[in-house]
């Protein structure tokens, strides 16, 4: 079997754009991002002015004395950027990583939340 498989050159590191869902609710925006194989130590989330950047490294080490038969998984980096408007309260953004899924909550600023207008009858 090993003689039938042609060895192909694979790049040393690839940049992936992770699958992402963005949902809006009354209280804010929810971003759900698929980051398989990423742990908290290899995840960086930065906010610079209105740019939110998510970067995550994925590594895989071949076991000792293992022989490549077929390789598709390569080390790489997930990278995604979003422009955040003033509707978001940037001081209260929260992030949670669980089982390779990143959940970000971007709460709406008080001035952007829907509100009831009081009616005064005369």
Q: What is the CATH number of the domain that holds 39?
A: 2.60.40.790
Q: Is residue 4 part of a domain?
A: no
pTM exceeding the 0.95 threshold for the entire prediction: no
Tallying the residues shown for the chain, one arrives at 122
Q: Is residue 19 part of a domain?
A: yes
Tens place of pLDDT per residue across the chain (122 aa): 445 555 555 556 789 999 999 999 999 999 999 999 899 999 999 999 999 999 999 887 778 888 888 877 778 899 999 999 999 999 999 999 999 999 999 999 987 667 788 888 88
Structural domains of the chain, count: 1
Bridge-based pairing state of the strands 101-107 and 94-98: antiparallel
Q: Is residue 81 part of a domain?
A: yes
Q: In what order do the strands lie in the sheet with 28-34?
A: 20-25, 28-34, 101-107, 94-98
Q: Is residue 120 part of a domain?
A: no
Q: Is residue 65 part of a domain?
A: yes
């Amino acid at each position: 079997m090993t003689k039938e498989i042609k060895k192909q050159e694979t790049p040393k590191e690839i940049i992936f754009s992770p699958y992402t869902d963005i949902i809006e609710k009354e209280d804010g925006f929810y971003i759900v991002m698929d980051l398989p194989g990423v742990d908290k130590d290899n995840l960086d989330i930065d906010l610079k002015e209105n740019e939110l950047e998510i970067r995550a490294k994925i590594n895989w080490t071949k076991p000792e004395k293992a022989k490549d038969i077929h390789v598709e998984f390569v080390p790489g980096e997930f990278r995604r950027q979003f422009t955040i408007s003033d509707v978001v309260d940037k001081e209260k953004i929260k992030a949670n990583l669980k089982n390779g899924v990143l959940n970000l909550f971007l709460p709406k600023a008080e001035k952007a939340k829907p509100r009831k207008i009081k009616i005064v009858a005369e």
